[in-house]
Structure 1
Amino acid sequence: MHTELAFYAAAVPAVALAGLSKGGFGGAMGMLAVPVLALVISPVQAAGIMLPILLVMDVISLYFYRRIFDRPTLAVMLPASVVGIAVGWATAAYVKEDFVRLLVGLISILFALNYWFGDRLRAKPAEPNGAKGSFWGLLAGFTSFVSHAGAPPFQMYALPLRLDKQVFVGTSVIFFAVTNAVKLVPYFFLGQFDAANLGTAAALFPLAALTTVLGIWIVRVIDQTLFYGLSYLFVFVIGLKLTFDGAMSLFMH
């Protein structure tokens, strides 16, 4: 178990970001948790510590959102996500995380820009589409497994549907709760869990629970228009971060 002050200086904001995101506020901002932790420990260890914490957050969020979700969206995206995880596991030795980050980052930036400057997307909600939902679901599962970057692909399909804010969050909660649970199997076989990581994760569980509940409360009181505006902004910011990290690693080393 980690006891260093520097570790917790990074771990506390990392878990807080993930908790608010899991509660539904901040959307993809929870993806910053692993990069923040990776400032003080290895990215692999950061992922191993965060996954049990994410599962605790999932349980709390599921309790609040267990009856508030969009069934058609989950019916299309969840099976595809499981396939994406399997593809990620099968290709783990060949796929570069940095390339995935760069690709998802660029797509996220274009997605947000298209929303802000494309009148067609602002005019009316998108119609459900099985092919699109399956594609983005598969990509969400794959990128979630490879680089913990599943939120942007999920949002690229779900945000344009313009669901009620709580229905959108509930759908996201269930999607990633199932996705994270499925990831437990390959992560176990890849050696992501050990006593030190699990002990450190357990020490951060109270903060994880508190910030998740706080995120749920914020979603309930925030204006729906503001909620969607912030969601697209967070996608854009995360896109910039992923693009920068991927480009720096691929082209500057």
Structure 2
Amino acid sequence: MLTTLPTAFFFVAALTVVLTGISKSGFAGGLGVMQVPILSLFVTPQFAAAVVMPILLIMDIWIVWHYRRHWQGRVVAMMLPGAFAGLALGAIGFSWMSAEVIRLAVGMMALMLVAGFVLLGPPAARSRATPAPVVFSLGAVSGFTSFIAHAGGPPVKGYLLSQNMEKSQFVGTNTMFFFVLNAIKTAAYAGMGQLSWGSLQVSAIIAPMLVVGIFLGTYLHGRLDQSSFVKLVYGFLALTGVKLIWDSAPMLLGA
């Protein structure tokens, strides 16, 4: 398998790992949604997802340790029941659900959250207690879209931003939530035969680049004030939404 992959694939894969490491360790993710679509230019989406999965899990373990004193267990506990339900539904629908439809819907959700920020101002000016059923639903949407299309970030980030967390707590809470999800997804992917010896070999080759990404992400995180951090997170959310819509809309229109 390795000998059939072009050199450009490994260069691009390494770059996406660095960008994802910066995004996840410094700003609670966003750019990671680009990994599978970009790698799919060289390999099948299934193989790309299999390559990315263990790297995401390793990143999460590292970042969880770094932010182990900066996360809100109450928030994670509130969202996990819905996320577990969403993961189960995602596993059931994995073989027949259209990933393009899911990506389009999540992309539109992300842009709606950004529009709310632009039009209504930062969450501090309009935050309210979120009802438990809404939190459960957001967790379920995140779990479902994460399993089907690796796009579970926007619902969670929208909720966390509404909680007015300090930036390190935001990153730590987001990472802890997705660490649990990614651990379950990795086991599920392995059980469903998505992981292979070839995909694990590729993962092992590009995984060292996550050290660079995580170092840069934590460095930048420590040098941003809270206001700039929130704006940057919303910026990543906007990029995520545009990327998801850009990838999915042409496929749906051409179907």
Fold-level similarity (TM above 0.5): yes
What is the 5 A alignment of 1:231-242? Answer: 231-242=233-244
Cα separation, 2, equivalents of 1:36 and 1:156: 25
- Give the 3-state SS of the residue equivalent to 1:21 in structure 2: helix
Cα separation, 2, equivalents of 1:119 and 1:17: 28
- Give the 3-state SS of the residue equivalent to 2:46 in structure 1: helix
Give the 4+ runs in structure 1 shifted more than 6 A: none
Residue among 16, 28, 31 paired with 2:30: 28
Q: Is residue 102–residue 247 contact of structure 1 (8 Å, CA) maintained in 2?
A: yes
1:70-105 deviations in Å (ceiling 9; x for gaps): 122101111211111111001123310000001001
What is the 5 A alignment of 1:1-253? Answer: 2=2, 4-25=6-27, 27-119=29-121, 121=123, 123-253=125-255
How many residues were matched structurally? 253
| Cα distance, 1:24 vs structure 2 | 2.9
Cα separation, 1, equivalents of 2:122 and 2:27: 26
TM-score if structure 2 supplies the norm length? 0.94
Q: Is residue 26–residue 234 contact of structure 1 (8 Å, CA) maintained in 2?
A: no
1:55-76 deviations in Å (ceiling 9; x for gaps): 1111110111112101221011
What residue identity is the alignment partner of 1:67?
A: R
Q: Is residue 20–residue 29 contact of structure 2 (8 Å, CA) maintained in 1?
A: no
What residue identity is the alignment partner of 2:198?
A: A
TM-score if structure 1 supplies the norm length? 0.94
| Cα distance, 1:209 vs structure 2 | 2.3
- Give the 3-state SS of the residue equivalent to 1:23 in structure 2: helix
| Cα distance, 1:245 vs structure 2 | 1.4
Cα separation, 2, equivalents of 1:116 and 1:243: 20
Q: Report the aligned-residue RMSD.
A: 1.6
Q: Is residue 121–residue 160 contact of structure 1 (8 Å, CA) maintained in 2?
A: yes
| Cα distance, 1:121 vs structure 2 | 4.3
What residue identity is the alignment partner of 1:2?
A: L
1:149-183 deviations in Å (ceiling 9; x for gaps): 01111112111211000000000110011000011
Ranges in structure 2 where 5+ consecutive residues have no aligned partner: none
Higher alpha-carbon deviation: 119-128 or 147-156:
119-128
Higher alpha-carbon deviation: 150-159 or 43-52:
150-159
Cα separation, 1, equivalents of 2:254 and 2:29: 30
Over 3 Å counting, the alpha-carbon distance change for 1:116 and 1:77 in structure 2 is: same
What residue identity is the alignment partner of 2:242?
A: L
Q: Is residue 124–residue 164 contact of structure 2 (8 Å, CA) maintained in 1?
A: no
Ranges in structure 1 where 5+ consecutive residues have no aligned partner: none
Q: Is residue 140–residue 154 contact of structure 1 (8 Å, CA) maintained in 2?
A: yes
